[in-house]
Amino acid sequence: MKDGYWLVGFQYEFTGTLYSLGQIPRCKNAQLKHLKPGDKVLVAGVGHGTEAIEASRLGADVTAVDLSATMLKHFRKRIEKERLPRPITVIHDDIFNIRDTGKYDMVISNFFLNVFNKTRVVEVANHLGTLVRPGGYFVCGEFVLPEPAGWRSHVQRLNWYVAISIYSSTTEAVFHPVWNYPALVAGSGCPIEEIEYFKLFGVNLYWSIRGRKPE
Ligand SMILES: C[S@@+](CC[C@H](N)C(=O)[O-])C[C@H]1O[C@@H](n2cnc3c(N)ncnc32)[C@H](O)[C@@H]1O
């Protein structure tokens, strides 16, 4: 199976944490407060699995999917170090092969939609939306859509373009502008209930978007 992160996957979590001075991991965990013990959670493109491990600690029944053997090797190492209340189901596969329609209380896509091109990102978001049960959540942590003008807009663009320049030249991620993630979540059938922002130096750089599928 293709491993788009074989070269840089080992450092992914550490560098993201450092680059954002801890805001990326905070963003990843932000919506877990809406989980109840026993809730079924799917983490798409789990990487090293920060939020998957935290959701499991909170008592959720977690399934995690990723295409990259390198990412999953590091995720499994982290799982081994934890004493989690129940095992996490780890699936090494393409997210499109997960076809549990309407099964999950929460589907999490953190820094996952940003690897896809303009057409594919819509297909992936819509597919994730199908996996959410009626009344369940679609959670998406991402880089914010830059403001239309002003100095903050420049900082937001710089923050994204530095990251995507590095990752589009070292991984399978595609170089592109920031996608409109709230529109993608809402467009998948999960209207937005809440957006939480994560700032550095007074500028919103990341957001955790929570959509909810109508009952
Ligand atoms: C940018 S990384 C984000 C990893 C993690 N969610 C995080 O926030 O640190 C994107 C992840 O999605 C995985 N991925 C890319 N395309 C995928 C697909 N079609 N199905 C499953 N995983 C995929 C990659 O292997 C990678 O681990």
Domain ranges within the chain, ordered by starting residue: 9-212
What are the angstrom distances between the C-alpha of 83 and each of 60, 64, 80, 195? 14, 17, 8, 31
What pLDDT, on a 0 to 100 scale, did the predictor assign at position 6?
85
SS3 of residue 107 by DSSP: strand
Q: Is the CB of 112 under 6 A from ligand 1?
A: yes
**Protein residue closest via CA to atom 5 of ligand 1:** 47
Residue type, 84: L
Atom of ligand 1 nearest to the CA of 115: 1
Ligand 1 probe mutation, 7, 115, 198, most atoms within 8 A of CB: 115
User: In the predicted model, is pLDDT for residue 184 greater than 90?
Assistant: yes
Sign of the torsion formed by the C-alpha atoms of 101, 102, 103 and 105: positive
Q: What DSSP element (H or E) covers 29? A: helix 23-29
Give residue-wise pLDDT tens across range 149-160: 999 999 999 999
Average pLDDT, the chain: 96
Lowest mean pLDDT among 23-32, 79-88, 129-138: 79-88
Lowest model confidence (mean pLDDT) among 1-15, 26-40, 124-138, 165-179: 1-15
For residue 49 and ligand 1, the question of a CB distance below 6 A is answered with no
- Strands 132-143, 40-44: pairing kind: unpaired
pLDDT at res. 31: 98
Residue with tokens 């903050």: 152
CATH of domain 9-212: 3.40.50.150
* Residue indicated by tokens 């989980």: 35
Is the shortest distance between the CB of 4 and ligand 1 below 6 Å?
A: yes
